[in-house]
Chain A
């Protein structure tokens, strides 16, 4: 995400992935929202990414970051899925889904809000570009969407 000189902030989407956790992605990375999609469960897939959906003739893997965070299969998501776009390791455009607890919200993120991830957010270091403090004082990781949908979480 790039800011302008007077630090008026850059547009981002805030995604609530768990009742207590918000993450941010770039404005142009979120391209669609699906409400209660038809999931196809993939046997033996990791709990945090066990479903795919059909969207615009694409097979889209769907991440449950709440499952990943808690290492627990049953999580409290609403059925809203954010469809995001990213580049894979070969530079091809791919689509991924992220399960949300509530619809996404737009926000402006300023340089002055930048902060370090604390030890509570250790897991996020694998997939975040940076982080900032929200107006309510919560730490919000900024997600590297390409990394999130790579093999990184499997290792």
Chain B
């Protein structure tokens, strides 16, 4: 997806950028609001009885069993449930659907956002972000943000799974 396509994905008819902010372990990920299918309570989480221990549990959405992933600050996979996760966000893009455990999920409408590619010197192709961004918050203060998408997170999770299978 080009930068312009990504930007357009966030733009709505009001010419503002509609994003969701996923907070956990002290980090905040900005994702397109259109990729949030639903937000579920942690009480919907059922334990993982599969052999795949990359996800922490499952939830059922539209009759489909979805894996629920839980990440640390460095976005390594947690294998046991931390105390500070209260919500499951279900992300969807085309046929990709999965859930992440978050501390908090909020929506924001941003009037100005500037996307930047990841700096060349740090882009080791493992970073689960599409862009970094500069935006103005509700108080018109410049902020730094980390932008990702359902596709990007799904690819990242698949890489982690392949890596853990090799171990």
Within 8 A of B (CB), among A44-101: 44-46, 49-50, 52-54, 57, 59, 61, 63, 88, 96
Give every chain B residue within 8 A of A40 (Cβ-Cβ): 144, 146
**B116, B127, B142: the one within 8 Å of A44 (CB):** B127
Q: Is the CB–CB distance between B128 and A59 below 8 Å?
A: no
**Chain B count of residues within 8 A CB distance of the other chain:** 23
Q: Is the CB–CB distance between B124 and A149 below 8 Å?
A: no
Q: Is the CB–CB distance between A154 and B134 below 8 Å?
A: no
Q: Is the CB–CB distance between B119 and A44 below 8 Å?
A: no
Q: Is the CB–CB distance between A43 and B119 below 8 Å?
A: no
Q: Is the CB–CB distance between A150 and B122 below 8 Å?
A: no
Give every chain A residue within 8 A of B27 (Cβ-Cβ): 41, 43
CB distance from B107 to the nearest CB of A (A): 21
Instruction: Give the interface size class of chain A.
Output: 20 to 34
**A49, A53, A88: the one within 8 Å of B122 (CB):** A49
Q: Is the CB–CB distance between B127 and A42 below 8 Å?
A: yes
Q: Is the CB–CB distance between B124 and A45 below 8 Å?
A: yes
Q: How many angstroms from the CA of A154 to the CA of B119 in the assembled complex?
A: 12
Interface presence of B75 (CB below 8 A): yes
Q: Is the CB–CB distance between A44 and B124 below 8 Å?
A: yes
Give every chain B residue within 8 A of A57 (Cβ-Cβ): 134, 142
Q: Is the CB–CB distance between A151 and B134 below 8 Å?
A: no
CB distance from B159 to the nearest CB of A (A): 10
Contact with A along B60-82 (1 / 0, CB 8 A): 00000000000101110000000
Give every chain B residue within 8 A of A10 (Cβ-Cβ): none
CB distance from B153 to the nearest CB of A (A): 11
Give every chain A residue within 8 A of B71 (Cβ-Cβ): 43
Q: Is the CB–CB distance between A154 and B146 below 8 Å?
A: no
Q: A43-B75, A44-B75 in contact; A63/B128 too (CB < 8 A)?
A: no
Q: How many angstroms from the CA of A54 to the CA of B119 in the assembled complex?
A: 13
Q: Is the CB–CB distance between B122 and A41 below 8 Å?
A: no
Q: Is the CB–CB distance between A59 and B120 below 8 Å?
A: no
Q: How many angstroms from the CA of A54 to the CA of B143 in the assembled complex?
A: 8
List residues of chain B with CB under 8 Å of any chain A CB.
27, 71, 73-75, 116, 118-124, 126-129, 132, 134, 142-144, 146
List residues of chain A with CB under 8 Å of any chain B CB.
40-46, 49-50, 52-54, 57, 59, 61, 63, 88, 96, 148-151, 153-154
Additional A-B contacts beyond A43-B127, A45-B124, A63-B121 (11; CB < 8 A): A41-B74, A42-B127, A42-B132, A43-B75, A46-B124, A50-B122, A54-B144, A59-B116, A59-B132, A151-B120, A151-B121
